[in-house]
Structure 1
Amino acid sequence: MSSTVISTAQVAGQGAASQSLTPATSTWELPSVERVFSDLPEFPSLPPRGTEAIDSQEQQTMFRALQDAIEKAEWTDDSGNSFNLKELHASLEQADADARHGLRDIGALHGVRDILYKLWSANSEYLAQAAEILANGSRDPSWRAPFGQSGILKFFLNIVSSKDIVDTTLLLHSLRLVGNSCADTDENREIVVKDNYTLAIIRHFLDSELVFVAIPVLYNICMDFEPAHAQMAANRTAYILLKLLRDGAIENNDALLGFSYDLVELASEQGSMFILNSFIFEADFELDVGQGVENSPDGTILLLMELADSDTIAFAHFSSLVTCLATYLDKERFQNACVSNGMVEGVLSVLRRSYSVEIDQSSSEDIKALTQLRLKINQALSEVSASLLFSGRYPLDSALAQTLKSWVVADEDQLQICACVMLGNLARSDEVCQVMVRDLKIHEELISVLKSDARGAVLHSALGFLKNLAIAGDNRLSLGEAGIIPAVSRLWAYESVPQVQFSAASIARQVIINSTDNISRLFTPLSQDPDSPAHKRTYLSLLLSLFEKTDSTPIKTEIGRSVASICRALSPKARDGNEEAISLLDRLYSLHEGVARPIGTMITQSQWPVVRSEGWFALALMAANHLGCAAVVDCLHNAEVSELLKMALSADSSSEGEKDANKSQKTKDRDNAFVLVQELLKNEAGVLPSGYRDMLEDWTKEHARVI
């Protein structure tokens, strides 16, 4: 973005009628702009007018002297050629005017400043004419720095902030001079920010005759100048502009609306991040930039929602509003305000609006930007629904929850993701999860999503929600009956999105925990035709195939934990003579070659010591079964597993200062490893090579001496 030159022609008219949006139906209090201003600090201004008596003849003489001083204020270009203001006016009309650069004669401008102060004191009508001449001159870049250095800029800033009643024409040209002088000129912007003159400019937003010039002036001050962004945030500029836009107080002019929405975005996104440490200001005004967007009233987010949800909003403005809304909802204060005031529906409406806002379909940038905006809204909704207040304000029987339920099977992927994430955040207690499955049957809709051609992000969010639901009570059985295992099995081959593969493997583990019925479903043949090769392959076979193909340690480990879970659920029952458990264990070992290899990954991974202990225990359970011994031996063919077994058996002591938790973990691993070897030696029935058996016996003898 670049600064704008503010000319007399640009500010001569107000353009088309203002656009007014439907007022909010919420009871949320929206403080007036006047009230917001009353809470903000004062700023410098000129002394009261009319304290010095100067007759009209003398005023005219001073004005002519001022004109003469301006016109004779010479400057020199890079080639040594001299120019004055008359010549400058002529050169401005030439296409190459911006090629002329030089230094102004600052000394002559000090006299201009002194005359300006006298005209002010005399309440002279010539002051407005002088302001117009200088404002026109400020359109040329070479005048800008001298105006700041000579004090002329400060003079007109004080007029803009004056507590006196000032003629509109004088204010208009004063604002023009300020805006033009600050265009791409940081040293002048520093003058404005130092004494918080931005607030004085913002106050003129309330004047229908000046708002159309005051907004571009503030825009010029703020472009690429972060201290001004921070000051705008402290001065609650975002709320003020949004309120005026919502109330139709800013004209429906494309350029002016563009400036307004850009300023809202700058005040929102930069205010909370930037600290004014680049400048040392000795001023009465202390800018509390640390608060940033936190300074804004709660109603700011309501205004953002209402404007963004307008049927006539342009995409560029929609983009600014959504970006700002996401910024505000990143703060806990605004999240809580949104929930407490029942405004989450408004955010959902903005997300839904994103599917009807008009964009240039031929523009890849617009398409990409819209995608990013939807992600921002969804992230904000995720944060909001994670609030502790959310479940209390929006129970399962609320209209919002019903809307989300309908979105689970919507055609728009971001609506589906939103529904899964927000309802998943509601599923924080066993009671709620059971109601969702038992009464709402939401798991059936989620499983239908898994069977569809939904994109990876949708699948991932649906799997995450299902995993939450699988934790509670009898939900595992309900998920199994609804076909969760066949549904996730197709996703074990979803190589394009590893997160989907991991989640699909993870939920398989989740639903078989202590569930013989679901373990049986996992062992279901892939074909019911006895003559088909697939008849001897099961869903677990597909999971083990994923183990062999993937390079992901988390996925491999999760598959290992699934196998361990099967052993935990079936082995004790089989030991007690349960026929179903015995039959299932037989199927586990006879149909699934290499079934213990995933357990080996649990043991060799080093990130989670508890998972490693799980692995030793699972191998010990396998070794207690005659068929399982062959699987254990197959696992021990992995040299790393075999070496770790030896280390676990010899872990007889710990170093001084080692944490008690580590000592306990080592002891647990050693005991599980010892049981593993004992069971293997007892049940292996010749599957162990003699040399390997001798080695295991030696290891256990050494272990027996140290326990």
Structure 2
Amino acid sequence: MGSAVFSGNHRFENIRNLLRSSNKNGLVQAVEKLKITQGIEERDCCVETLIQGLTKEDCDSEEAAESLVDDVLYNQLREMLQDDRYNQTNVAQLVAELAKAESLREPFVEQNFVPLLLTLLETNDVAMATQACRALGNICYENDIGRNAVDSLDGVSELLELLKCQLTNEDKDADRLRVIACGFLLNLTNTHEIIQEKAVEIGALELLDQYLETHYIEDKLCNMVLHCVGSLADSEFGKEKVGQTNVAKTLVKVLLSEKGSGNQEAILELMATLAESDDVKDQLAATSLPDHMVRLIQSTNGLSDSSSQHKEKLASDLLVLLLTGDRSMDILYGKGEGPVFLESVKWLLSDSEHLQIAGALAVGNFARSDEHCVQLVSEGIVDKLITLLQQQNKKDSNITLQHAVLSALRNLAIPSVNKPNLVKMGVMDTVLSLTATDVSAVIFKLLGVLRMLVDGQEEAAKTLGTDKDFMNKLVDWCNVEEHAGVKGEATRLLAWLIKNSRSTDVMKMLVRAGGIPHLVTMVSSEHIVMQNEALVALTLMASTVLDACLVSLRECEAVETIGDVLKDKRTLPEILCNCLTLTKYICSNDSLREDALSAGILETAKHLALSEDTKVKDAATALVTVLEQPLVER
């Protein structure tokens, strides 16, 4: 909160001259004089002297305040606030100056100044209300004890009522009161979720929206209102409520106004915070804001000064954020003709790395629809992404850009019709050229791209699965404990290579690379999809190249792992069926059959053969038959 210099009655010049002989001595003398004097004008003179002394540029106000205040002064100031209407404004201002000292904020609460200051908010006196707001705002600054005291006395409602009354007040000092009152609201709610929610519930957002509509040409007030909205939207509750008001649309109106440029960066930063809500994303996408952001980015194109670069970043980041919402993304895509979409494609060819990243992120977000993905690939977007990746295949590569491009390629590779086209375009080869990286975030994304590319693509899966160097690296990534994403993607890709290639060459390569233990571990995954993927891959291998797998299966205790899954009462019927089928194939080998019998799987299978689920019952019965056959008959 800013300091205020109050100009009051200028009588008793002899007293003032004495008290101001030196600032420190003058302050001390003023305090002592104030403690003993009873005259209204003399007390006012002392208070004014203290205010002027504390607000001098060369005064260490915090140190001075701490040295001046004691219980006697608290009592005197409290008495003057309560009984001396002539001095209330000045006393409130003095409290405001003293409360700038962090160590005095809690004592002012403990000395019961909060209820007295709140009473002053009900006045029609603009100057008095201004100083009361300053005092309360300073007491509440980074002080939950002060905030809670205000809240306990319904101070939030009192403050909002004051703001309502002052919304259209044309008195000469009302504009300053509006700024100070909004500052008080900010200090009262900032980081305090309970008070934030209370303020929102009783209409603070709607009132601040009115302030923006009415006073957007006043830079200081507009800026303070923006901070208040940001504070109230700090909680999930606040963000949700913003989407139910017109605040977002009003912000766009202010931004596009002739006077809005003064707060352009603050508005864009606030919009980015508010746009974490899908409702706000949708609102903003439906306004002229996106087109304005495109023009802003175009106007900064080629400019290297920090201000232009910052605006470019704010604008492009905001547009990318809007694209993370489903409806807002569709609006901005505009069936492939939207200005934001067309401009974001151009960013891929920009000299600015930040715009390149924004372009890749935008394409990745537009590619969340199969229809969009097919259209994007047909229009040549893949070549631009490949070019960006190829340019980044160097030591000083931009990891964020690599991550963004790979994310876009992964999404584009999801529709089945796109997969063979992306392979033909060289996506797989380009992605493989990045496997030398040691950046986990990039590895995670490139594995995701490769997994999508081999899905349903037999030849691609064979090519990748018989690449010895890649398979060895892939198995190494299965051991990455510090990044669960890399470990999970690597293991899933192993399973997908088996499933999609159904090639004995790929299976044997996986065994030689040491991949079997990772598939077995995956059988116990907490994720049902991953469990199934592992079981399908192992079943294909057990039914095709069991002899090649034998040693690995026994070393990693595959039978015991499968037995644990079968015995677990929480295991779903689908997983049970796949486990039973895998076990049946495994038991075609005598040593593995003996392991199964030792693990008690026969008893488990007999129990499951009584299941009410027909598929589980049939699979279990088939396994029991295999396990009960004498070895000589097999």
TM-score, structure 2 normalization: 0.69
Which residue pairs with 1:579 in the alignment?
none
Q: Aligned to 2:290, which of 344, 349, 359?
A: 344
Q: Are residues 1:633 and 2:572 paired?
A: no
Which residue pairs with 1:140 in the alignment?
94
Say if 1:3 and 1:183, in contact at 8 Å, map to a contact too.
no
The whole-number CA distance in structure 2 between the counterparts of 1:175 and 1:194 is 15
Aligned AA for 2:162?
T
Aligned AA for 2:270?
C
Q: Note the alpha carbon deviations across 1:385-443, whole angstroms, 9 max, x for none.
A: 423353155221222211111223444444344333433333244332111112x1112
Q: Aligned to 1:704, which of 620, 624, 627?
A: 624
Q: CA deviation at 1:302?
A: 0.6
- The 1:607/1:458 distance shift into structure 2, 3 A limit, reads farther
Which residue pairs with 1:555 in the alignment?
486
The whole-number CA distance in structure 2 between the counterparts of 1:110 and 1:541 is 81
- The 1:290/1:485 distance shift into structure 2, 3 A limit, reads closer
Q: Are residues 1:7 and 2:34 paired?
A: no
Q: CA deviation at 1:345?
A: 3.4
Higher relative contact order, structure no. (Cα contacts within 8 Å, ≥ 6 residues apart): 1
Q: Are residues 1:468 and 2:414 paired?
A: no
Which residue pairs with 1:514 in the alignment?
456
Q: Aligned to 1:567, which of 498, 504, 512?
A: 498
Which residue pairs with 2:541 in the alignment?
622
Say if 1:602 and 1:611, in contact at 8 Å, map to a contact too.
no
Q: Note the alpha carbon deviations across 1:475-508, whole angstroms, 9 max, x for none.
A: 1111111222222223334323x23212211221
Q: Secondary structure at the match of 2:430?
A: helix
Q: Are residues 1:104 and 2:76 paired?
A: yes
What aligned pairs does 1:136-215 form with structure 2 within 5 A after superposition?
A: 136-141=90-95, 154=119, 157-160=122-125, 171=126, 173-185=127-139, 193-195=156-158, 196-200=160-164, 202-204=166-168, 207=170, 209-215=172-178
The whole-number CA distance in structure 2 between the counterparts of 1:334 and 1:610 is 34
Which residue pairs with 2:256 in the alignment?
306
Which residue pairs with 1:85 in the alignment?
44
Aligned AA for 1:331?
S
Q: Are residues 1:261 and 2:223 paired?
A: yes
Q: Aligned to 1:422, which of 337, 362, 374?
A: 362
Q: Note the alpha carbon deviations across 1:162-204, whole angstroms, 9 max, x for none.
A: xxxxxxxxx5x44544445545345789686444433245424
The whole-number CA distance in structure 2 between the counterparts of 1:390 and 1:646 is 48
Q: Where does structure 2 lack aligned partners over 5 or more consecutive residues? A: 9-28, 38-42, 54-58, 99-107, 140-145, 190-194, 603-622, 629-634
Q: Secondary structure at the match of 1:450?
A: helix
Q: CA deviation at 1:109?
A: 6.6
- The 1:230/1:216 distance shift into structure 2, 3 A limit, reads farther
Q: Note the alpha carbon deviations across 1:583-607, whole angstroms, 9 max, x for none.
A: x643663697226436535535422
Say if 1:347 and 1:381, in contact at 8 Å, map to a contact too.
no
Q: CA deviation at 1:292?
A: 5.8
Structure with the larger helix share: 2
The whole-number CA distance in structure 2 between the counterparts of 1:477 and 1:555 is 25
The whole-number CA distance in structure 2 between the counterparts of 1:8 and 1:107 is 22
The whole-number CA distance in structure 2 between the counterparts of 1:241 and 1:465 is 42
Q: Tell me which moved more, 264-273 or 456-465.
A: 264-273
- The 1:596/1:217 distance shift into structure 2, 3 A limit, reads closer
- The 1:430/1:334 distance shift into structure 2, 3 A limit, reads closer
The size of the alignment, in residue pairs, is 535
Aligned AA for 1:457?
T
Say if 2:89 and 2:131, in contact at 8 Å, map to a contact too.
yes
Which residue pairs with 2:26 in the alignment?
none
Q: Note the alpha carbon deviations across 1:229-257, whole angstroms, 9 max, x for none.
A: 965862645434544565x3x2xxxxxx4
Decide which structure has the larger Cα Rg and report it. 1
The whole-number CA distance in structure 1 between the counterparts of 2:318 and 2:585 is 49
Q: Secondary structure at the match of 1:225?
A: helix
Q: Note the alpha carbon deviations across 1:290-320, whole angstroms, 9 max, x for none.
A: 946744445223146437997x64xxx5553
Q: Note the alpha carbon deviations across 1:514-557, whole angstroms, 9 max, x for none.
A: 213323542686xxxxxxxxxxx454444345446666454344
Say if 1:543 and 1:559, in contact at 8 Å, map to a contact too.
yes
Q: Aligned to 2:277, which of 322, 327, 331?
A: 331
Q: Are residues 1:434 and 2:374 paired?
A: yes
Identity %: 13
Q: CA deviation at 1:636?
A: 1.1
Aligned AA for 1:210?
D
Q: Note the alpha carbon deviations across 1:627-671, whole angstroms, 9 max, x for none.
A: x445412431433424224556xx4x775xx6xx72342132111
The whole-number CA distance in structure 2 between the counterparts of 1:642 and 1:502 is 30
- The 1:561/1:220 distance shift into structure 2, 3 A limit, reads closer
The whole-number CA distance in structure 1 between the counterparts of 2:484 and 2:498 is 21
Aligned AA for 2:76?
R
Say if 1:556 and 1:598, in contact at 8 Å, map to a contact too.
no
Which residue pairs with 1:505 in the alignment?
447
Q: CA deviation at 1:93?
A: 4.8
The whole-number CA distance in structure 2 between the counterparts of 1:512 and 1:665 is 24
Which residue pairs with 1:686 in the alignment?
none
